[in-house]
Structure 1
Amino acid sequence: MTLAKTPQSSTTTVPEPPAAFTPLIDKNAACPDLTTRTIAYYSMEIALSPALPTYSGGLGMLAGDTLRSAADTAAPMVAVSLVHRKGYFRQMLDASGQQTETDVAWTPETTLPSAAKTVTVTIQNRPIKVTAWRFDVVGAVGHVIPVFLLDTDVEGNDLWDRRLTDHLYGGDTYYRLCQEAVLGLAGTALLHDLGCKPMVYHMNEGHAAFLTLALLQEQIGEKSLSEATDADADVVRQQCVFTTHTPVPAGHDQFGMDQAKTVLGLERSATIERFGCLHNGLLNMTYLALKFSRFVNGVAMQHGKVSQEMFPDYTIHSITNGVHAATWTSQALQDLLDKEIPAWRHDNQYFRSVYGIEPARISNCHHLGKQRLFKLVAERTGQQFDPKVLTLGFARRVATYKRASLLLQDPKRLLKIARKIGGLQILYAGKAHPADTAGKGLIKDVFETAQKLNSSALRIIYLENYDWELGAQLTQGVDVWVNTPRRPYEASGTSGMKAALNGVPSLSILDGWWIEGCAEDVTGWAIDDGDTEAAEAQSLYDKLENSIAPLYQRPMAWARMQQSCIAMNGTFFNTHRMLGQYFMNAYFPQSPLPDVELGLGEAISNETSVLTPA
């Protein structure tokens, strides 16, 4: 097994962001007029820049891509998250694949402008001061989406409270509950103090669900929450939209009521219980969001169906995720598209027009991405990969249901295939949560198997510290993107969408987005469902040996597949389309959807026009 090493240190100096991304803004830059912002988007994590460790993975990447499309289409949005002063973590792997973690510290004071506002919320039966820092997402048309990163590291706060916004998904359940109270309660108070009174509050996952309590308190004024009526709750419900992202039980945060009473206080806790937001006697953030939202959606067609089965008392819609095309396409491909179909940046439906571009030109763009990726591999590992050899990529958060080791389940057959087809290269990457012992074990399993398999015919490297920039290079440079989740636990998945934008087909289990994106032998290949993991692994090997490798040996046919990946999947699986669906179906629908009473009146005609770029 070859291990890609990155520098090891207790803290990490924040690098300058690459030129391809929006630079960190002038600390003296003026904030846009917030009185015109009618949609507030809340997310526990948002990937804003490669230079900022304010995200952990797919949820944060989706949030960032959503806001980048909002900026490109001049949407009247504002966003709220936490500052995460010490980030998620930097991953280090030893020679056996044992993962260790260090903080990724940064200093917002020297990086971003202040919101110049401090609010006070009562949590743990004591006042906590919360300030914020502002990051401006600037779109292709110059429109700005301000993102406020909440920060409890304020003089006068209890020392423990000052650390509340340090670690993304860090600490225990008590720490998490306090963080989520800050996000929902302080985030809403801050927006209102800044003069922003949105018509729509979008909760990207249940972490922000306490904003509904803040809105309920505002609705009843000086009254006690114990006096809030069903009519008051319905007023709040008309303002809220909720997106659920996971069918995995561990993905739905829940807390004991004793803990809830300690953090939120007796009045808020009693209100949550009175309005039926508990599940199995626990405060469940998903049920709180469901109870107070007029529109709820899953993030792919299949995920919407699965979520409907999980929550049969609520109406669950589907809006399939996407990715921000201009962020994830390679520079070479961007240059080609700018020359041939320049309208692609503001209207991603123009990706269909790549059928008018010679496939060989698209293939050449991918070849440049592959060379760039292999240069990175050589710099990190000292190992040279061959650009002519078929290369598979598997990179994502390491969780047991994602089955990172399925590709390696039958080592003898995999090695036999590699020899038969003239060589095979596999690149792995991914972090396991620091508390996920099973996930860490999966990384070690991959290392152990790879050490036995590495040879002249089959070469496997696990790249350390999977992040924004590594993810971009992998999805731009590998030949085939592999995804092997256990059905039906892949809610959507977006890394395969990024790969498709770069002409990279997927070999994947039919789950999440791939149910909608797979056109067999056109945009990629489906791994057949099996009664056992061994059966699914054999299907994977069959496709690799009998479909993928023979096609790869026909360069023109492979180039046409790369062209179809962009034309067919790039056209649909993007956040421009996704955001448009949120506007039409969730934010300001042109007509009431079944089982949903909206009551937004004239706002519909006023707001839907924002998706037309200036």
Structure 2
Amino acid sequence: MNSTPTLTLSAPEANLPPALSPLAELAYNLYWSWRPAVRDLFARIDPDEWEAGGHNPVRVLAHASPQRLAALAGDPEFVAEAARAAEDLRRELAGPCWFDNARKDIGNPGTPLLAAYFCAEFGLTECFQIYSGGLGLLAGDHLKSASQLGLPLIGVGLLYRNGYFHQHLDADGMQQENFPPLGAPRQPVRRVLDASTREQITVGVHLPGRELRCAVWRCDVGRVRLYLLDTNIEANSPEDREITANLYLGDQNRRILQELVLGIGGMRALAACREHATVFHMNEGHAAFLALERIRAVRQHHAHLNITFDQAREAAAAGHVFTTHTPVPAGIDRFPPGLVSHYFEHYVSSLGLDMEGLMALGREDVANRNEAFSMAVLALRCSRWANGVSRLHGQVSRRMWREIWPETPEGDVPIGHVTNGIHTDSWVSPHNVPLFDRAMGPAWREAAGEPASWNGAGSIADADLWAARNAARRDLLTFVNQRAAAGRTGGIAPALDPEALTIGFARRFAGYKRATLLFRDETRLKKLLDGAGGRPVQFVFSGKAHPGDTWGKHLIRDIVHFARSLDGKARGRIVFLEDYAIDVARQLVQGCDVWLNNPIRGLEASGTSGMKAALNGVLNCSILDGWWDEGFDGSLGFRIPERGTYPSDAPDEEREAFEAEALYRTIESEVVPAFYQRDSARLPRKWLAMMKACIARLGPEFSTHRMVAEYARKYYFPAHDAAARLAGDEPTSDIRPARDLADHIDRYRKLWPQVRVRGIDCAPTPAGDALQVGAVVRLGQLRPDEVRIEVYHGPVERATGRIEHGHAAPMVCKHPVGDGTYQFAVSVPAPEGLAAAHHGLLVRILPGDPLLVTPFVPGLICNSPIVAAEPGPGGHL
């Protein structure tokens, strides 16, 4: 293969008449997944095939008979609609966008920004099942909003031969799995070809004793190019062809191989496709090996300079963004040291490391040789930008990973947050679209992340909004009945009332999500179902358990058994929908009245299904966890009071009893009365007011348009600029700044044992509203301009004896004392009243190199003891 081939894409499989050629253009761009008019166009070709294939335009075209295509080519109206749709697509791809104005915020005028977004799964549309759940759906929505915003972004993932499993329940209600092949040639994805040979582009990943070849495919998502790697090619052994067979299945050996393909193979695929990314976003730790490949590539490009690992890491890491989605360490991929050593034996030397140096990158405790290799720790140690996926999850993540930055206060651990969102066009109910268009114009689509775009939601007529709500509920019930007729409701015969309060619970069946909390008091639940006073409540459940999660499977079975046992009025008012996927989710988040979520607080990193519901005016009833911790307001939804945050001192049984009681009480005393309280026009005015508030506030706040724009401003733009400062126009530059920074950090480490705070004193200012803090600091061979000296002050937490969430004030060097010692000073606000008794301060020393993205470098922080924030010589608290 030519080392720099001209690239092209494989031709569409269908042989279309010239008049229908726009259909191929439309079918191979997932723009259609968020444009109902385009979806309807393909559905009209063959409605039965459209449904049978999971709404797949490529399959519809491939299966259409020549006679049917000829008839459509002779239909002037259809031909005109197809041409208009293709023109609309071209207009969206080339038209003005958010990034046209936002690009001015990028400081580096050189190499254009291009963010590469790596993820193990992408949930883009129901027919293309290379996703398992929330992580994939978020990734898919990220690409869609990036396209509509015009943000220069490409995606990298894996093309799974079988995708994720399809679920069915056996006679006992236990989950069973089957894995029908995805059939890539009949999916909206095309081979990337060498234009001269017409051969598919492949890239190699060295494995012990062999080279694994990975074929490169491309899926277009509006403006965004998504590259997918596939090992199921003849060049590989039968065993290696299975690496990308299934998502999230297999042993640790299969998982590490998939992650090698994603990270190392993904980087090589971008090089082969001549994609010159400047920012690399690891969406979860699965992709963390890309950091090693980038470091290796930097060293290779500058081999004549004998670049060290640390120098190459500084050049690469400035452009790395890591997003963690996991609130507990056990949820992170961790590999045995021997397994990592096996696969990196021939790779590690190219990094400029020995095997122990590589292993240390994946350990929280670098000295513990028995510690498993954590992909999240690797990502954190090789990225200068990191975030959680909600405000609360950011706090949880800083607490969880603080030991990587010893002595750093929890609030200063360099992990931020960007709260997740959802792609508005993909999840909005068709019944709401005309109401939104009339009330808000095109802004709610075109600028979905801007609060002002949604101000008109309050003007929607109550009667119209209620009619749309009733229509969406009826659609859901029709869908449920169709599923029941097909034997896909776990043996439950639904008897749902189209006028009754309908509560949905749909998500992965993991223990902490507590799908069966509602069933703790069966008598009380049955009363809700019976509907005393003509106010019945009905529930629709859906979700999959991981194939290896026996507990999760038993939770599903327990719900099904209870639903089957109901009699009288309650019979058929709890339903379980099998095979939860995008199409099922869409029906539920549009058709339910209330979205129920009751995880153990602190264990739901974000959650996005409730955001999809909120977009449609479906009111959330949830524990304050994940996104709802910042989204909740009593005017737009319901809170289930919780008994502590994980990890909590409250015993599990006490917490479960308290929160189950709180759940029943919330539904009985708040949800049911608000829904069934009607006026003379039979309209629930309070409920409708909450729906409008929900749409107006949560629609923009939890849109992926807002989320992607926030990633751009908070991480992509500054990461692009930082990488440019450190590496220049790499690989043509000599990356001198990155080399200097690494050398400076090495110097800090050698001289840091000389650094310490020798004394602190406090004195009130004449006005009495501030404290003048002085410190005598020994820097040894370091100069004052090489460090940051700060007073860190705030409340001292009784449980830890630490200041975890304080304020930093930079100190000024007043004069040298001699022998590498200096006097520093600053004024800080004096604590008042009762707060003063628990207020403390310390003086800390940090590296001060201006090239550092963050001054918090693992192992380079020197804190004085905490002293009381009161006048006089510093006394220890």
- TM value normalised by structure 1: 0.89
CA contact (8 A) 1:86 1:103 kept: yes
Identify which range, 389-398 or 129-138, moves more after superposition.
Answer: 129-138
CA-to-aligned-CA distance 1:118-168 (integer Å, 9 cap, x gap): 111102342011112111111xxxxx1011111011222111111111100
Identify which range, 41-50 or 255-264, moves more after superposition.
Answer: 255-264
What corresponds to 1:537 in structure 2? 660
CA contact (8 A) 1:391 1:480 kept: yes
Q: Are the structure 2 counterparts of residues 258 and 450 from structure 1 closer, same or farther at C-alpha, using a change threshold of 3 Å?
A: same
- Aligned pairs (5 A) from 1:187-206: 187-206=266-285
Q: Are the structure 2 counterparts of residues 218 and 601 from structure 1 closer, same or farther at C-alpha, using a change threshold of 3 Å?
A: closer
Q: Are the structure 2 counterparts of residues 360 and 264 from structure 1 closer, same or farther at C-alpha, using a change threshold of 3 Å?
A: farther
3-state SS of paired residue (1:136) = strand
Aligned partners of 1:61 and 1:258: how far apart in 2?
A: 34
What corresponds to 2:517 in structure 1? 406
1:557 to 653, 664, 686: 686
Identify which range, 186-195 or 525-534, moves more after superposition.
Answer: 525-534
What corresponds to 2:624 in structure 1? 510
Aligned partners of 2:618 and 2:532: how far apart in 1?
A: 23
Aligned partners of 2:604 and 2:320: how far apart in 1?
A: 25
3-state SS of paired residue (1:234) = helix
1:15 to 51, 54, 62: 54
1:376 to 475, 479, 483: 479
Identify which range, 445-454 or 311-320, moves more after superposition.
Answer: 445-454
Which has the bigger relative contact order, CA under 8 A and spacing at least 6?
1
3-state SS of paired residue (1:532) = helix
2:210 to 114, 126, 143: 126
3-state SS of paired residue (1:331) = coil
Task: Say whether 1:159 aligns with 2:238.
Answer: yes
CA-to-aligned-CA distance 1:571-612 (integer Å, 9 cap, x gap): 2001000011101110113999xxx99847999xxxxxxxxx
Q: Are the structure 2 counterparts of residues 454 and 45 from structure 1 closer, same or farther at C-alpha, using a change threshold of 3 Å?
A: farther
Q: What amino acid is the match of 2:505?
A: F
Quote the offset at 1:345 in angstroms. Answer: 0.9
3-state SS of paired residue (2:232) = coil
2:604 to 476, 490, 500: 490
Aligned partners of 1:225 and 1:446: how far apart in 2?
A: 64
What corresponds to 1:440 in structure 2? 553
- Aligned pairs (5 A) from 1:319-334: 319-334=418-433
CA contact (8 A) 1:125 1:263 kept: no
Identify which range, 267-276 or 315-324, moves more after superposition.
Answer: 267-276
2:537 to 424, 427, 433: 424
Quote the offset at 1:263 in angstroms. Answer: 2.3
CA contact (8 A) 1:92 1:465 kept: yes
Quote the offset at 1:180 in angstroms. Answer: 0.3
Q: Are the structure 2 counterparts of residues 70 and 590 from structure 1 closer, same or farther at C-alpha, using a change threshold of 3 Å?
A: same
Task: Say whether 1:273 aligns with 2:350.
Answer: no
Q: Are the structure 2 counterparts of residues 566 and 75 from structure 1 closer, same or farther at C-alpha, using a change threshold of 3 Å?
A: same
- Aligned pairs (5 A) from 1:49-88: 49-88=125-164
2:443 to 335, 343, 349: 343
CA contact (8 A) 1:88 1:168 kept: yes
Aligned partners of 2:314 and 2:514: how far apart in 1?
A: 42
CA-to-aligned-CA distance 1:441-493 (integer Å, 9 cap, x gap): 11112122223345414610111000000001000001100001112100000
Quote the offset at 1:389 in angstroms. Answer: 0.7
2:639 to 515, 526, 545: 526
CA contact (8 A) 1:503 1:565 kept: yes
What corresponds to 1:300 in structure 2? 390
Unaligned runs of 5+ in 2: 1-50, 63-84, 95-110, 194-200, 349-353, 365-369, 406-412, 486-493, 644-653, 678-683, 730-877
What corresponds to 2:875 in structure 1? none
Q: What amino acid is the match of 1:469?
A: D
Q: Are the structure 2 counterparts of residues 370 and 290 from structure 1 closer, same or farther at C-alpha, using a change threshold of 3 Å?
A: same
What corresponds to 1:359 in structure 2? 462
CA-to-aligned-CA distance 1:490-512 (integer Å, 9 cap, x gap): 00000000000000011111110
Aligned partners of 1:131 and 1:473: how far apart in 2?
A: 36
Identify which range, 176-185 or 366-375, moves more after superposition.
Answer: 366-375
Aligned partners of 1:560 and 1:126: how far apart in 2?
A: 64
What corresponds to 2:115 in structure 1? 39
CA contact (8 A) 1:123 1:265 kept: no
Q: Are the structure 2 counterparts of residues 120 and 51 from structure 1 closer, same or farther at C-alpha, using a change threshold of 3 Å?
A: same
CA contact (8 A) 1:225 1:267 kept: no
Task: Say whether 1:244 aligns with 2:324.
Answer: yes
- TM value normalised by structure 2: 0.63
Q: What amino acid is the match of 1:589?
A: P
Q: What amino acid is the match of 2:244?
A: T
Aligned partners of 1:489 and 1:597: how far apart in 2?
A: 34
Q: Are the structure 2 counterparts of residues 366 and 104 from structure 1 closer, same or farther at C-alpha, using a change threshold of 3 Å?
A: farther
CA contact (8 A) 2:517 2:656 kept: yes
| Identity, % of aligned positions | 39
3-state SS of paired residue (1:115) = strand
Quote the offset at 1:257 in angstroms. Answer: 1.3
CA-to-aligned-CA distance 1:195-221 (integer Å, 9 cap, x gap): 111110000000000001110111001
What corresponds to 1:177 in structure 2? 256
Q: What amino acid is the match of 1:354?
A: A
What corresponds to 2:506 in structure 1? 395
CA-to-aligned-CA distance 1:547-572 (integer Å, 9 cap, x gap): 11111012122111111111111120
- Aligned pairs (5 A) from 1:272-291: 273=358, 276-279=361-364, 281-291=371-381
Q: What amino acid is the match of 1:214?
A: E
3-state SS of paired residue (1:241) = strand
CA contact (8 A) 1:352 1:571 kept: no
Q: Are the structure 2 counterparts of residues 435 and 124 from structure 1 closer, same or farther at C-alpha, using a change threshold of 3 Å?
A: farther
CA contact (8 A) 2:279 2:719 kept: no
Task: Say whether 1:146 aligns with 2:236.
Answer: no
Aligned partners of 2:445 and 2:542: how far apart in 1?
A: 29
Largest Rg, 1 or 2: 2
Quote the offset at 1:366 in angstroms. Answer: 2.0
Q: What amino acid is the match of 1:298?
A: G
- Aligned pairs (5 A) from 1:217-236: 217-221=296-300, 228-236=308-316
Aligned partners of 1:239 and 1:282: how far apart in 2?
A: 26
CA-to-aligned-CA distance 1:526-559 (integer Å, 9 cap, x gap): 1111242111011111111111111101212211
Aligned partners of 1:344 and 1:580: how far apart in 2?
A: 16
CA contact (8 A) 2:503 2:539 kept: yes
Unaligned runs of 5+ in 1: 1-11, 139-143, 604-614
Q: Are the structure 2 counterparts of residues 285 and 274 from structure 1 closer, same or farther at C-alpha, using a change threshold of 3 Å?
A: closer
- Aligned pairs (5 A) from 1:458-477: 459-477=573-591
3-state SS of paired residue (1:466) = coil
What corresponds to 2:35 in structure 1? none
Quote the offset at 1:334 in angstroms. Answer: 1.7
Moved over 6 A (4+): 224-227, 600-603
Aligned partners of 1:473 and 1:59: how far apart in 2?
A: 20
Task: Say whether 1:208 aligns with 2:298.
Answer: no
2:333 to 240, 253, 277: 253
